[in-house]
Amino acid sequence: MTYSRASTNGPNRRIIILISGGGSNMRAILKTAKRDHWHTRYGAAVAAVVSNQREAGGLVCAQEAGVATHVLSHRDFTDRLSFDLALMRLIDQQDVQGPNQVPALIVLAGFMRILSPAFVSHYAGRLLNIHPSLLPAFAGLNTHQRAIDMGCKFAGATVHHVTAALDHGEIVAQAVVPVLAGDDAAGLAARVLTQEHLLYPQAIAQWLQAKVSQ
């Protein structure tokens, strides 16, 4: 299903966000892009949100913000590569190149899929993710409980470039929070998420500014 409300007067650089759930980081990005006038400042705007889950709550938020939304369920494909190739086609359809346009920035915001090397290679250098740990520590899942179990004094979040190695791309930005006495995974996760909502839009703006300055 597709809902399209985006402006036909697109920016020079489109931002396409991939989600799987509620999209709280997506909402933070949309809010910051509007508040800080990314269209004027960087020639960039969120052009589409794509989910692999039909019931993802973030889709409604994106639609209410006037952003085109698309659902491509991984369950409709027999293997990861087939899904990724279809996702690439869908993304590239949203990234129609005009005379003044540059390739889109692809932002993973709670997109719960391990991407194939073919997908990562196709968007190399313009594919960002946020991970709820201070990479390179605690790549993968259950990051908050693992940090508590290891006795870490600090935890946090990392924005990084996506590579074929899971959670091992070049670091763009990090935010640090203390691990408090008596913390459980849920409490630490909530505190880290608050910082994610600040860090991710800032890191994207930093990336966009660097491209404008080139």
Number of domains in the chain: 1
pLDDT in tens, the chain (214 residues): 433 333 334 568 999 999 999 999 999 999 999 999 999 999 999 999 999 999 999 999 999 999 999 999 999 999 999 999 999 999 999 876 666 778 899 999 999 999 999 999 999 999 999 999 999 999 999 999 999 999 999 999 999 999 999 899 999 999 999 999 999 999 999 999 999 999 999 999 999 999 988 8
Cα separation, 69 vs 20, in Å, equals 12
Q: Which residue is catalytic, options 39, 70, 131, 160?
A: 131
Task: Tell me phi and psi for residue 28, to 5 degrees.
Answer: -65, -40
Active site residue 74: no
CATH of the domain at 130: 3.40.50.170
Render the burial of 148-166: b for 16+ CB within 10 Å, e for the rest: beeebeebbbbbbbbbeee
Residues 5, 63 contacting (CB under 8 angstroms): yes
Range of the domain at 144: 2-213
Tokens of 2: 């597709």
